[in-house]
Each structure stands twice: as structure tokens, then as C-alpha cells.
Amino acid sequence: MSRSSWGSSSRSMEGREPLSADRPEESLHKRLLTIIDRGAGASLGADEFEQTALEIFALQFEMNPIYRAYSVARGATPATVSKSLEIPAVPTDAFKSAALVCGDERDAAVLFKTSGTTGGEERRGTHYLLTTNLYKAALRAGFRLHLMPDREKMRFASLVPAPGDAPESSLSFMIGDVIEQFGTPDSVFFASPAGLDTRGFLKASEKAAAADETMIVTGTSFAFVHLIDEMTEMKAWVSLPAGSRVMDTGGFKGKTRDVQRGELYRMIEESLGIGPEYIVNEFGMTEMSSQLYAGSAGSAPGAGEPRVHTPPPWLSTNAVDPETLQPLPDGAVGILRHLDMANMYSVMALQTADLGRVTADGVEILGRASGAETRGCSVAMDELLQVLRRRS
């Protein structure tokens, strides 16, 4: 599928401009854009991080009525919270039950929905973005640092559907935007509602190899599995030019089989000719506006080495105790909590059920915690549901 097939949903995919300058939050919005524009590899002093995070919490407390009621129920207000670790984190499951937005969700420039369909369509989590400016700035900064550290433009081959084919997918939005920013005119989407166009991908790859033109291939981890399975059935393999790279995202558990990371990266190297040092794993969530990356193109860890994800400076990740939700010391395994400033107009502090550990090197993501391991999340979710019942 070519770029000309891009479409838009009933909500503008471009988003609207920053909120009006006469709004009190506009100066904070501009300051946050300045922080992001410094780059995903820039440093952010502890004092500046704390001050900005507390200001965003105060804004969300004022403008997001559901989050305000939830925070009060947890005994937290801007008057009582003095550091970012005290900001109440909302369980990510809360996005399935409430419109967590600083204003009216009908004013959202775009909305993203989680892919899970357990419980029916109404149980999909929804993230409303009043503006896409912060989202775009954050995703471009991270992608530039980790996937394009040595290039301005590259030919893209996307195994993710185009935004017009998946208007509620944050991943499709992301890939569409980075292709717009960093892609050459011959960049193509090879996934659509009809499936994966493996033959089209092979033709494009062979053309790139013949022209000695590097290519970047983006997709979910299991999109690569399906691609390589089909290539194997066709007995067709390619060797992309040196410097070509892969961005894979998501987990390694599929509907039909599980594939370990090392096995997948071996398959990619054998089928596409791209070694593990040029395979960068991205971690993101529908409920979050920023992404974490494991390595950078050309210097990513080997196939058998641990993949530690690095957050950008405006995103802080901590491991917390699954029972008490209290922060754990560096290196201790707990469930991960993210504080994403780019979520300025929704909820900044997000409590996940992802197991992991945080060290000075970054975040090691260890998988999903079981229900029995996340009692603290269940209690927090119960508190939010009580808030919703009182408001109904």
C-alpha cells in the first residue's frame, strides 16, 4: 500500500494547533515543547523535572475532573504533593472505564484505542488527545535518536497499516508521522485490512538491494514473524544493504505460538540480512505519548544480550511494589509506573501491570504480572470505579 492511500478519520489526524495563548496552560505547553525539542538524548535536571511534573499535576488536578476526584480519594492534592513520586498514578485499565482528559473528550483532535477486545468493543481503552503537538514532538525526538542517528532520510517499509486504514491505532499514527518526517518518497505501507503484502515487500527489498539503498523496516514483533514465515514458504530471502535497520515493537507471544526475542532476531538476520546491532525494539502504550527504546541503530545489543529500554528525559519510569504501590530501590523487580509529561492533557502518571526493574542503565521489561501479583493496581482501580459511581 502506497502513501497515497493515507486517509483520515472523522477526527483530524493532524490535530489542532496548541491551545489559545490566553489559556493559562499555554505557557506550560510551550515550556514542555522546549524540553522535548532539546532531544531524547538531552539531559533534564532533577529540579526542572520536578517543577514541571508538579505543575502538570496541578493542571490535571484542575482540568481533569475524574482525575481530580480520584486524587482526592487517594489523599493527594497540589497542596499535599511535594515530589513527583507522590503524584497519584492511574491504572492503565482506567482508560477502559473513563474519559481521562483535561476538558471535553468531544474536543479531542484524535483518539487512540487499545487493541485488546476482551469484554467487547466498549472495553477497549481510549486515550483522547486534545492536541497532537506534544505527541508528535515526543515520538519524533525518540525515533530520530534511536532509529535515525546517522541519517536524515531513508526508504521505509512498514508492516504496520497506514493511518487511514487504522485511524484509532497509535502505532499507525506514529509510523505514518515518522515516514512523513524521515521517509523518502518511495516509502510504502505493506500492511492493510486485507493482510500483509509479502510479495510487494520482497519486490521493494530486491529493488533497494540492487540499488544499494538502505531500508528501514518497521512492524510489530509478530508482523515480522508472519512476514518471515511467508518468505520461508516462498523460499524467498533478501539481503538488504549494510546500514538497513529494523524497528520492532510489542511482545513475543502470538495467537498460534510463542517466539523468543533471540529467535526472532536470528530469523530477521537470516531472512533480511539485518544483524541484531541494527534491530531496535520500541516500547510504547496507547495510554502513553512517549516511547522507550532498547539501543540505537548500529549499536543495539546482540541477540543474546539483555535489552534495556531507555526513556527520554521527560519520561520517568519506576518499579513499585505490587501490593503497596510504593517505589522500590534500583534493581528490584516490581510493576512499572510511568510519569509521561507528554500526556499533559490526559493523565501523566500511569500505573501498569508490567513487571520490570529500573537501574541506572534504563528499564528492563520482564513481561506481564499475573492478577495475583497486582493487588495494588486492583485497589487503585476499585477507587476509580467508586469515583465514577459517585459521579453518575
Half-sphere exposure of 163 (CA within 13 A, CB side): 23
Q: Is residue 261 part of a domain?
A: yes
Q: Is residue 106 part of a domain?
A: no
Q: Is residue 85 part of a domain?
A: no
Provide the β-strand partners of residue 156.
216
Q: Environment class of residue 281 by beta-carbon count within 10 Å: exposed (0-12), middle (13-18) or buried (19+)?
A: buried
Cα–Cα distance, 357 to 361 (Å, whole number)? 10
Cα–Cα distance, 260 to 268 (Å, whole number)? 12
Place of cell 526475542: 261
C-alpha grid cell, residue 154? 531513508
Average confidence (pLDDT) over 301-312: 86
- Residue range 217-244, pLDDT digits in tens: 999 998 999 999 999 999 999 999 999 9
Which of 162-171, 186-195, 304-313 bottoms out in mean pLDDT, i.e. has the lowest? 304-313
Which of 44-58, 201-215, 301-315 bottoms out in mean pLDDT, i.e. has the lowest? 301-315
Q: Is residue 186 part of a domain?
A: yes
Q: Residue 229: which domain range?
A: 133-294
Whether residue 78 contacts residue 54, with contact meaning beta carbons closer than 8 Å, is answered with yes
Which of 3-12, 196-205, 242-251, 311-320 bottoms out in mean pLDDT, i.e. has the lowest? 3-12
State how many domains the chain has: 1
The DSSP output letter for 355 is: E
Q: How many Cβ atoms sit within 10 Å of the Cβ of residue 42?
A: 14
3-state secondary structure of 117: coil
Q: How many Cβ atoms sit within 10 Å of the Cβ of residue 262?
A: 14
Q: Is residue 194 part of a domain?
A: yes
Q: Is residue 301 part of a domain?
A: no
- Average pLDDT value over all residues in the chain: 89
- Residue range 120-159, pLDDT digits in tens: 555 789 999 999 999 999 999 999 999 999 999 999 999 9
CATH of the domain at 290: 3.40.50.980
